[in-house]
Amino acid sequence: MKIRAFTLAEVLITLGIIGVVAAMTIPSLINSYQHKVLETQFKKAYAILYQLVLQVQNDAGMPLNVKDYSYAYTGDKWKLYNALKPYIIANFCKNTDCIDKIEVDDGTGQNMKSYRTYNNEANTSSYYMECGGFILPDGMAIYIEAWNDQNLMLSVDVNGVSKRPNRWGHDLFTFSIDNETGKLVPNGVDGSYVSSARRTSYCNSSSGYSVKDNGLSCSYYALNEPDYFKNLPK
């Protein structure tokens, strides 16, 4: 009676083929999963910021705008920070080095990562994130810009400073508060810090108007392009 079975050579060849296929497909699957996670976290962060700004505006009875909350008009760098603080459960940072270090409730500090631009060409400028910040219980980080005379802005690191990639347009996104409506809008629309005519230059895989500002308008594309997170530059 003969027993049919695979030879050792046949088994090794089969395993080799499986290994090659796995090596070709697993990185793609992991990459796709990571992008999906970033997309989900981005949508969650946008919803949190939108509702936060809306609630503050409704309670104030007037739109949030630069003339009432920006240092350029009020001389108070922390006015927007103080207006947002009662509405959010978080660890708070009120100093000029928020982008580098946030002091948490127990008196210790959490070091901040250096953020890179959308195309990974340079470090971003902390100019857009220098008027206070929050770290939410899940690690999400929010930064405030209330210095310029055009728009109030909020940036959010959707997965926290301790997790990569720490790049604008990847896990870091910046929004404006429309001066007329007081609502949170993505940069890249009229009424935001970056107009619709300039948005492609501020979320560009090659370059932008300013190297350090490349990624400033990526919040527009993340909200409006279904495949945005699938096509992030390396």
Q: What residue spans define the domains of the chain?
A: 8-231
Structure token digits, residue 225: 């392009």
- Amino acid code (one letter) for 113: K
Is the whole model's pTM more than 0.75, yes or no? yes
Amino acid at 51: Q
Cα separation, 81 vs 90, in Å, equals 12
Cβ-contact 199, 219 below 8 angstroms:
no
**C-alpha span between 112 and 41 (Å, rounded):** 19
The C-alpha atoms of residue 90 and residue 3 are separated, in whole angstroms, by 68
Tokens of 233: 């530059």
How do the pLDDT tens digits run along the chain, 234 residues long? 555 666 767 667 777 777 776 666 555 545 665 888 999 999 999 999 999 999 999 998 888 999 999 999 999 988 998 999 899 887 766 654 454 554 443 444 444 457 889 999 888 877 788 888 888 888 898 999 998 999 999 999 999 887 889 999 999 999 999 999 999 999 999 999 999 999 999 999 987 667 889 999 999 999 999 999 999 998
Backbone angles phi, psi at 80, to 5 degrees: -70, -40
